[in-house]
A and B are shown apart, each in its own frame.
Chain A
């Protein structure tokens, strides 16, 4: 595979439909679904690992419990968590560009009002 960079667009043209009374609820729904997705991905990976380790007879439960990441491990894990944030909060970032400024102001005004009540 070539390493040449092609970036596909992240956002859909047009305005995202709002189904709930307040736009925050629509945003939260998206975050919850992304979170559910990532949880499922994680579960599948752990499941695959356990099954492989079990088949090969190499799972050391004690070592797993006391696992300490090396600096390289830690860097890889931090990068993965960053990637995870991008996916988890995908909609939060896309909203900023997709909503018209008027909609964004409405969101802000609503939040401000609620917080000062």
Chain B
């Protein structure tokens, strides 16, 4: 069992549905572990020597590795099974979400009575094409489809699906990325003491709520362009007794004042945007940060930090998981992007933070303590689970 959601929007799944989700989690484990190891071995043993002869040099980047592998059966089997497993993630939770959709939508309405936080939607906001024209992660309907007035069911689909997708790695509230990094920031940057912070592209708010929990005195804001996930996020945060102010807004054009936030944060967000939007988002983040404030983005490590094969392995999602901007983003040099956005060159920071859910409180606390070497291996996805982030002080 990949794990149950630890909030009041948790919906019932039948015995067979749970078994189906368990199967998909196991299938993903098999593909991402056993088959991925086979693929790496076959590449280095068979494909690399042949491609090197043909090209006159070793495949030098992710694209050349991809082209060399395309006709290889191990690559084809790995990729076909991974795409199917991805489709089956959503398929395995769709029926329970459909059955409970009306109940979920009623919970959203209930949440607005006596709320700690708030939900502000903007029906006039025009959705960017990278959201309205795509089904990111192959999730049918994406973040934005509404199946009736006030509908939040795509949020429920995403929440229940990601539990299956991450095989429970993110913990019962799926907050591990936000929690691990917020606690890291609290330990490493004690001078920040955020009184006001902003999460960009928050979807379910699953990585927003841990910031509210880690910094209980901070006023926490979170934005996304899609109303269905924001409705869900709001009801979800309220059910967890956390005050978050959710607002429908595009991160490329923030409606907040200059110098108004101590921390601007995003997780797994930038890589879904076209490069021109990434630039706008970073400039806007710079504008709304107070001097000395901290911007940080949890992301996949950039290609420049990885050998060609490892770059290819991560770029797979760009080609086959409907995340078309993922590779372009990973090909960028984050230090340059931040300099272009106005951040001082010496303000750049990047770290690899261990997962608190994976390692447990004690090991985690030891690993982020003073003098620990976390942050040196920015390129390596080490044994176990670790999260990479980069950012800057303004």
Q: Does A104 contact B (CB under 8 A)?
A: no
Question: A8, B98: Cβ atoms under 8 Å?
Answer: yes
Chain B residue contacts of A1, Cβ below 8 A:
12, 99-100, 102-103
Question: A29, B106: Cβ atoms under 8 Å?
Answer: no
> Which chain A residue has the least Cβ–Cβ distance from B148?
A6
Given contacts A8-B97, A9-B140, contact A17 B83 (CB under 8 A): yes
A-B contact count (CB 8 A): 104
CA distance A22 to B335 in the complex (A): 44
Question: A90, B80: Cβ atoms under 8 Å?
Answer: no
CA distance A26 to B15 in the complex (A): 29
Q: Does B213 contact A (CB under 8 A)?
A: no
> Which chain B residue has the least Cβ–Cβ distance from A11?
B140
Residues of A in contact (CB 8 Å), total: 34
Most chain B CB neighbours (cut-off 10 Å) among A6, A33, A36: A6
Q: Does A59 contact B (CB under 8 A)?
A: no
Q: Does A7 contact B (CB under 8 A)?
A: yes
Question: B85, A44: Cβ atoms under 8 Å?
Answer: no
Q: Does B54 contact A (CB under 8 A)?
A: no
Most chain A CB neighbours (cut-off 10 Å) among B80, B140, B153: B80
CA distance A8 to B333 in the complex (A): 39
A1-32 vs B, Cβ < 8 Å mask (1 yes, 0 no): 11111111111111011011000001001100
Closest CB of chain A to B10's CB: distance in Å? 12
Closest CB of chain A to B52's CB: distance in Å? 24
Closest CB of chain B to A4's CB: distance in Å? 4
Question: B322, A12: Cβ atoms under 8 Å?
Answer: yes
Question: B88, A34: Cβ atoms under 8 Å?
Answer: yes
Given contacts A6-B147, A19-B76, A29-B84, contact A13 B134 (CB under 8 A): yes
Q: Does B145 contact A (CB under 8 A)?
A: yes
Most chain B CB neighbours (cut-off 10 Å) among A2, A12, A33, A41: A12
Question: A6, B153: Cβ atoms under 8 Å?
Answer: yes
Closest CB of chain B to A45's CB: distance in Å? 6
Chain B residue contacts of A33, Cβ below 8 A:
27, 81, 84-85, 88
Which B residues have a C-beta under 8 Å from some C-beta of A? 12, 15-16, 19-20, 22-24, 26-27, 75-77, 79-81, 83-85, 87-88, 91, 94, 97-103, 106, 133-135, 138-142, 145, 147-148, 151, 153-154, 157, 319-320, 322
Which A residues have a C-beta under 8 Å from some C-beta of B? 1-14, 16-17, 19-20, 26, 29-30, 33-34, 36-38, 40-41, 44-45, 48, 87, 90-91
